[in-house]
Amino acid sequence: MKCAATAALLLLATCAYAQDPHPQPLPGPSIQTLSPDGITTTVVTKPSPLPPGQNFLMTQFSNAFDSTGTMMPNTLPSMPGIPFNLMTPPVVSHIDPNSPSQELDHIFKTVMRDASKGKRKNPALIQRGISILEGDPLSDSPTYNGFSLLNYTAPERIKAVQPIYDANGKMIGGNVNVHQIWFDSHIMSDTALIDPSAIDYRYTSSAPADITWTITYTVDVLHGGEDDFSNYIMYFDTPPPTGTGYGSPNVGMDGTFYPMKEGNRYVFSIKMSSPKYFNLVYTWGWRVHPPRVQVNENARKVLAGQSLAQWEISTFGAAPRINPQAQATAIAQLGELAPEKIMWSDLKAALTATSGKQIVALMKDALLSEDDFQDRTHLPRGVQADPNADVTLFYVNNEIYGNVTKLPQWTKRGQTLHITLLNGDHFMHSYMNVDFGGSRGWENQFQSGYDPDPTKAASDGCTFSFGRNWWWINAGGPWGLINVPPVASNGTPGLHKVALTLNLDPSARLKIYQFDPLHHELNIFSIH
């Protein structure tokens, strides 16, 4: 009933066009201009090809097509009677839902209580907190063992798609395994980048041109992580006839939208289209969005002369946890104002503190940063929003904090948004802004579905998913990198500003998708 009502309202609110799911018209490149002082990039998008107020497209229950007229397999995520068309039924089991933030909170309060009572400090307990933040192995192997809260380990988390062969040795598919933990407002993953080249005919001569593949997700839903699992897949158009480049922006869609409950492990297998189209897959939870989000980019994509894998390696080293020196060097790249870095620094200081008073003060400080860590929809301590900007984003700990989640001022095309970008890390970040169907149109693809377990939890995909949409780039990337310099030696965050005029109507589901294209994984701040 809820889905039918939503669809009816959308049809009344905007004129829908019945079209085959072929690529929608491209608006053309945005015009970017850098101010003489190098601080502000002015961006003006080309007008949407759609009539004003008419970016909702009638749903077409067919796979999408590329611009050559070739059908793209596995691009119809939901259809009547089959709400989860790209997903095999998940395998569900029970797990310990204890989360890293719960244990850190316990450690901070225990160490503070003992110090306030004059008890001898417990170095092993303090070191355990450090190990949780660093992602070091824990002897009792909790569910979150090895997942680092300090975001420096991406070079170790680059996974290749593994080919699948038939009995005659012919390649017939591929798969990559991704393990995630969901807790509070966070999604952490053992995979930062996916390399599909082993099944891509442009890299591997034995790979068929029409091969498809799967991603097998193991998702552990810890304390506070209950949500609907969705992996939003972005595909390029058909690639150039030679080389290993990629085509223009094409279609994106939620591969599934499936309800998950706290204390359960879900194993999902999601069907993917040809690797020649693969851009990225963006996993998100609508109940806490932003910031419950994590992305796996195509490791082979090249930006500014380096592959995305090379960007991570050049920043953090090829093996950041191979030894203590490499680990310390990598962590030093993360900014001192990061809540995770403050918690880590406070615990390190507590190891050498000589008085209970010092330890109490350090743990009080860590608890304040724990509060900041729990919610990236506000700027952490020590960072001020720009009063003259619509949005202030702060890059730190290789992720993004922001100060707004809604843009009520943008209701129609022609709106100019002022975005201030601050960088607290010791390496360059970049800014890119992508549209999810506002300019080229979107469909309300998802139908209602139910979890087969006895609780019959309803899927909310038909109301909250991004559906299937034709994406485009508003700012950055191919129109010119918009870079934000590192934090200064005196601790002043790097600064860049963007004045973005959007000559398109906002999409009903997501207004703007903002991220760092050089280090994408958690550097995301979408606004609805």
**Radius of gyration of the chain from Cα atoms?**
23
Chunk the chain into consecutive blocks of 10 residues (it has 528) and report each block's average pLDDT, rounded to whole numbers. Answer: 39 40 94 98 97 92 95 94 90 97 98 96 97 97 97 98 97 98 97 98 95 98 96 96 93 93 97 98 92 96 96 98 98 98 98 96 98 96 97 98 95 97 98 97 76 54 85 97 98 98 95 97 96
Domain identity same for 51 and 166: yes
Please give the distance of CA 306 from its chain centroid, rounded to a whole number: 21
Asked if the structure places residue 473 within a domain, the reply is yes
Is there a single domain that holds both residue 285 and residue 191? Answer: yes
On whether residue 298 sits in a domain, the answer given is yes
Q: Which of 76, 70, 73 is nearest to 23 (CA)?
A: 70
C-alpha dist (Å) from residue 95 to 144, 219, 503: 11, 11, 48
Alpha-carbon span 238 to 252, nearest angstrom: 14
242 shares its domain with 304: yes
Does residue 106 sit in the same domain as residue 90?
A: no
pLDDT at 19: 52
3-class secondary-structure state, position 31: strand
Judge whether 333 lies within some domain.
Answer: no
Residue 432 lies in a domain: yes
Are 407 and 457 contained in the same domain?
Answer: yes
The whole-angstrom separation of Cα 459 and Cα 265 is 17
- 258, 207 Cβ separation under 8 angstroms: no
Q: Which domain holds residue 206?
A: 2-96+151-324+380-527
Under DSSP, is residue 55 helix (H, G, I), strand (E, B) or coil?
Answer: coil
436 and 396, same structural domain?
yes
Torsional sign, CA 319, 321, 327, 331: positive
Which residue shows structure tokens 């390399």? 195
Query: In total, how many domains does the chain have?
Result: 2
Confidence (pTM): 0.94
Let me know if residue 331 belongs to a domain: no
- Do the domain assignments include residue 334? no
Examine residue 477 and state whether it is found in any structural domain, yes or no.
yes
Write down which residue in 373, 397, 432 finishes a domain.
Answer: 373
Unique residue bearing structure tokens 């960072």: 383
User: 451 and 503: one domain?
Assistant: yes
Q: What gap in Å lies between CA 196 and CA 172, rounded to an integer?
A: 14
200 shares its domain with 124: no
Phi-psi region at 460: left, alpha or beta (left = phi > 0; alpha = psi -120 to 50): alpha
Residue whose C-alpha is closest to residue 493's, from 370, 396, 363: 396
**Both 292 and 231 in a single domain?**
yes
In this predicted structure, what is the pLDDT of residue 8? 36
What local confidence, expressed as pLDDT, does residue 472 receive? Answer: 98
Number of H helices, E strands in the chain: 8, 28
| Nearest residue to 266 via CA among 297, 300, 230 | 230
Question: Would you state the pLDDT for residue 243?
Answer: 87
| Cα–Cα distance for residue pair 245/209, rounded to 1 Å | 15
Q: Please indicate, yes or no, if residue 31 is contained in any of the structural domains.
A: yes
> Roughly how many angstroms between the first and final C-alpha of the chain, as a whole number?
24
Say which residue the tokens 């993004």 belong to: 400
Same domain, 298 and 345: no
Task: Find all residues with CB under 8 Å of 335, minimum gap 6, and list them.
Answer: 341, 396, 397, 423, 424, 425, 426, 487, 493
355 and 214, same structural domain? Answer: no
φ/ψ of 111, rounded to 5, equals: -65, -40
What's the half-sphere exposure (Cβ side, CA atoms, 13 Å) at 179?
8
Q: What is the pLDDT of residue 16?
A: 37
Please report the beta strands in 288-360, taking only residues with DSSP state E, as ranges in sequence order.
293-298, 302-303, 306-307
Query: How far apart, in whole angstroms, are the C-alpha atoms of residue 395 and residue 423?
Result: 5
Are 134 and 156 in a shared domain? no
